[in-house]
Chains A and B, each alone.
Chain A
Amino acid sequence: MSDAARALELAKGQEGVPGRRFLDPKVLARIDDLELVARFVVEGFISGLHRSPHLGFSTDFAEHRQYMPGDDIRHMDWRLFARTDRFYLKEYEADTNANFIAILDVSASMGYGTSGLTKLEYAKYLAACLAYFSHRQRDRVGFVSIDSDIVDIVPPSAKHLNQVLHALDRAEARGRGALAVPLLKISESQHRKSILLILSDLYEPAEKIRDALGPLRDAGHDVVVMHLLDPAELNFTFDAAGTFEDLESGERIPVVPGRLRTRYTELIRDHLAAVERLLGEGRVDYLMVDTSKPVDEVLFQYLLRRERMQTVR
């Protein structure tokens, strides 16, 4: 039995344990195959939803529409034709054929992690899961990796799930990150309104983040921002004084964590609040993700928010 199979068995075994339904990122980290992870998470997630009061949204029947020449006859409702002798087509809400583009920040800071996997890996899982999810509901999926510019791009397509997963797998943390330039390029290149999932640690002032997202929002895209942060970044759980090195700039400063912790947590809290406030004002869907949390829990929270905000179209 391979490591991946053993991990899956272990993860499945956790389902029966109360309070352990959600998948531990550390377990997922032992699975090398990103597609397998995505499928495993999404399938389990959907099966869990069947027991949930929040019912599905993807393939629900919406209405009948009279057949027009040129329509795909595969969607013809033959039963209704038999009863009424008229041609009607079935229309489902999931059949909107939206573009889903995962925009992954691959700057060096995303390579940081203390809870079994890095922020970049965690972001890959999320992106893979949501891409798989979108693929299941027949959306076109695409992928863009960025740092201070566009690094890699997979155009959105209903057939590009594997390419997206491969691109995700290839992504490595590198370089300095800056959202403004790559997001502007994306807004200029994507003429069709899309769901843009931005996965980043957002180490920029909140105002600059807002400004960077502005062109996307102005272009009519549905922008979702997942702000990934490691627990060490949130709580600054360091003890010994030492030299801290910026993963992106290489800059070093001596730090006495005991003295800085309070002030740091205040600053990061203020930053998160500012980002949430400014992005909310810009009608950007924002979700702060603690990378120590299970992936499917984050997915659940995200989808629940989407349902409430009714932004899934």
Chain B
Amino acid sequence: MSFLAPLFAIGLAGLAIPILVHLVHKERKETTPFPSLMFLLRTPYQHSRRQRIRDWLLFLLRAAVFLLVVGAFARPVFEREAAAAPVAGGGGREVVVLLDRSFSMRVGDRWARAQAAARQALDGLGAGDKGTVVLFADQARVVAEDEGGRAVLRAAIDSSSPGDAATRYAPALTLARRVLAASTLPNREVVVVSDFQRSGWDVTGETQLPAGTTITPVDVASAAVSDRAVRAVELRRTLADGRERITVTGRVSNTGPAARGIQARLEVAGRTVASSAFDVGADAGGVVTFESVAVPETPQPATIRIANDALPADDVLHFILERAPSIPVLVIENVTPGNERDIYLQRALEIGDRPSFDITVRRATQVNAGDLGGKRLVIVNNAPFPSGDLGRRLEAFVRGGGGLLVAAGDAVTPATWPGRGHNLLPATPSDPRDRVADKGGVLGAIDRSHPALSLFGGTQSGDLSAARFLRYRPIQSDSGVLARFDDGAAALVEQRVGTGRTLMFASSFDGLWNDLPRQPVFLPFIHQLAQYASGYRAGRSVYEVGDAVDLQGVSVAASDSSRGVAYVAVSPQGNRLRIGGTQGEAALIPGEAGIYEVRPAGSPGSRPRLVAVNIPGRELDLARFDPTRLTNAVSAPGDAGPADQPAQVDRQAREREQSVWWYLLLIAATLLVAESVLAHRLSRGRVAAS
């Protein structure tokens, strides 16, 4: 049995109270006058201290009450057999070897020395000891002795090799803490075998190891490192003769005491298309810009490569050369195309290249079902809602994952909008509200946490409330409201329909009912609404090992919905990975540098999505930190400190479960009642006797 609050044991000193009460007897506070103390002084008072305790039963009751109350406040907890407290000195050891297998461990003979240090740590284990190996880079994996003895541990060390991932110490330390907390062995030790790369420092208070843990850092970093690496790439798109061209710029670093002349090549689909030579100073970086290249019709793997050095993996940087992403949009107008009223919307959509908008404009009376083909977004810009077969096709389009953005201006009347437009809209258009008298309303409440409007959440990121709305049609909806006017009326409402979504704006984009098109925020506002409604997710041409790659952005055709689809990814080393499917969002977390090929599962012949993955840039920074810093950071504050936190939490849980204190207080209360009765009787008897 132990106590959660042993400091309350100080209260045991209070036991002296009943002892003194029973030993000294009741002493009246008032004084008794007496003619002379002549004979009393001759009988020293000290004699009274030697008297024996009277009323033993009463005394024992009072002492027991005191003990029980003190015991209850100390919160006793009965230990389970397996949770025996560690005993300092002697007994077995729980040794956890943290072996860094990040990319930087490839430098020189670091890995060989790291393996030797790990093996040495395992060789030092005795018969009563227990070992665990944690292999870590940006993630950590435990190889425990329980899984097959120490041979498994040695095999894990021998068979592993440095990967392409960055260094992170926190996951490994967290695993080590978990292993040590669960251990019943009295002595705990952690051996950290690493090059102690500064960029991997993510140690926080939560990674602190249990008290009493011995931390042994084994530094395998070599003193001087010389390495050249391609660190980053920048793609600048231009249009020349109607064709899109890309200028590739690469950044190269030179770590080492000597300046280097570097020859860099730009390869597209394995073919060198450009090259450049330049010098980089000692411990400095340089930039190389290749001649522009024409963008191929289909995405192609591209590489910036420099001459190999001792660490060849970072001498190459992969990226994807592809056309800028574009969202095909159908704009349904109520006026003749080219009319001034739709110029604001069209001009806004024509600007920008990531993504660009491929716009098709149709009059409401001329649009047909064929116009929906290949589109990801339909904008009904102050036009009657498509009726009949076109309306049903539009409904199917949205339910299949397409987007619909509606601007309700003067042309949107109950006559032109039957009902809620095949339930695609959150509400039917209401009568317009005129705010001319008060110089127009503004957007009063904006949900900036919503993905469609999060761009305006930061400071100086555009003032949506600057626009004045002279007229609008309040949307009668309480759900999915993204913005409201200053009178509380809903201004922008979202509704999910099937796998697609619709956005309804309560005013027009033509500049007649409001001055929103003439505000600076109009362009990003339209772009954000269009991207959100179309379900567009920005892709990247370059990823790093450990990044999450959203595979749902693979498909660009609305009809080809990729949601819920399983994917098969082929890694640069030819490993096949199955991703997504029924297990929620499909995301690839690459563990190797190179080009991944991702295809929907069951479509081995389809054109793959190419994902370029590189060594994390921070991992290429080989600066180190003092291993003592790690030791100090993860050590408990003093070995003589409180027990380790997990064990303490476990004890608290057990104490709550047992609630011994409650029973102790109950017994104490019962004894108090008995004490009262007994004391009353004794007092009464004494009075009667006197």
Contacts from A to B (Cβ < 8 Å): 109-110, 112, 119, 201, 203, 230, 233, 238-249, 251-256, 258-260, 263-264, 267-268, 271
Contacts and interface: CB of A to CB of B under 8 A. Distances in A.
B24 A253 contact: no
17 contacts: A112-B35, A201-B36, A203-B36, A230-B35, A240-B27, A244-B32, A244-B33, A245-B33, A246-B35, A247-B33, A249-B37, A254-B27, A255-B32, A256-B51, A259-B47, A264-B40, A271-B39
Contact of B36 (A238, A248, A256, A263): A248
A245 B31 contact: yes
Given A241-B25, A253-B45, A246 B37 contact: yes
Contacts of B42: 263, 267
A263 B39 CA distance: 9
B690 interface: yes
B635 to A, nearest CB: 57
B37 A244 contact: yes
B39 A264 contact: yes
Contacts of B51: 256, 259
Contacts of B41: 253
A118 to B, nearest CB: 10
Contacts of B27: 240-243, 254
Interface in B333-350: none
Contacts of A267: 39, 42-43
* Residues of B in contact with A, size category: 20 to 34
Interface in B13-41: 24-41
Contact of B45 (A119, A201, A255): A255
A82 B184 CA distance: 138
Contacts of A248: 35-36
Interface in B656-690: 690
Nearest to A265: B39
Residue among B30, B31, B39 having the largest count of chain A Cβ atoms under 10 Å: B39
A246 B34 contact: yes
A46 to B, nearest CB: 33
**Nearest 4 A-B pairs (CB), nearest first?**
A109-B35, A242-B28, A203-B36, A267-B39
Contacts of A112: 33-35
Contacts of A249: 37
Residue among B27, B28, B34, B37 having the largest count of chain A Cβ atoms under 10 Å: B34
B26 A241 contact: yes
Residue among A112, A244, A254 having the largest count of chain B Cβ atoms under 10 Å: A244
B48 interface: yes
Contact of A254 (B34, B36, B39, B48): B48
B26 to A, nearest CB: 6
B568 to A, nearest CB: 95
Nearest to B689: A239
Contacts of A271: 39
Nearest to B38: A203
B32 A245 contact: yes
B48 A246 contact: no
A271 B39 CA distance: 9
B349 to A, nearest CB: 102
Contacts of A253: 37, 40-41, 45
A244 B39 CA distance: 12
A112 B36 CA distance: 10
B309 to A, nearest CB: 95
Contacts, number: 93
Nearest to B687: A239
B34 A245 contact: yes
Residue among A233, A239, A256, A264 having the largest count of chain B Cβ atoms under 10 Å: A256
Contacts of A258: 25
A254 B28 CA distance: 10
B31 A252 contact: yes
B640 to A, nearest CB: 46
Contacts of B36: 109, 201, 203, 246-248
B35 A201 contact: yes
A31 B525 CA distance: 115
A260 to B, nearest CB: 5
B48 A241 contact: yes
A244 B35 CA distance: 10
B379 to A, nearest CB: 101
Residue among A119, A238, A239, A240 having the largest count of chain B Cβ atoms under 10 Å: A240
A246 B33 CA distance: 6
Contacts of B47: 259-260
Contacts of B30: 242-243
Contacts of B40: 244, 253, 255, 260, 264
B429 to A, nearest CB: 97
A258 B48 CA distance: 9
A128 to B, nearest CB: 22
Nearest to B39: A267
A238 B32 contact: yes
Residue among B25, B42, B43 having the largest count of chain A Cβ atoms under 10 Å: B43
Contacts of A109: 35-36
A271 B40 CA distance: 13
A203 B34 CA distance: 12
A247 B34 contact: yes
B50 to A, nearest CB: 9
B679 to A, nearest CB: 16
Nearest to B25: A241
B28 A241 contact: yes
B209 to A, nearest CB: 59
A31 B34 CA distance: 26
Contacts of B32: 238, 242-245, 255
B24 A268 contact: no
A249 B37 CA distance: 9
A242 B39 contact: no
A240 B32 CA distance: 10
Contacts of A233: 34-35
A110 B153 CA distance: 100
Given A245-B31, A256-B48, 18 more contacts: A201-B35, A239-B690, A241-B28, A242-B31, A243-B28, A243-B32, A245-B32, A246-B36, A254-B27, A254-B48, A255-B32, A255-B40, A255-B45, A258-B25, A259-B43, A263-B42, A264-B40, A267-B39
B53 to A, nearest CB: 13
A32 to B, nearest CB: 24
Given A254-B27, A264-B43, A259 B48 contact: yes
Contacts of B28: 240-243
A268 B48 contact: no
Contacts of B26: 240-241
A247 B38 CA distance: 11
A132 B195 CA distance: 121
A110 B48 CA distance: 29
A37 B26 CA distance: 43
A252 B31 CA distance: 8
Contacts of A238: 32
Contacts of A110: 35
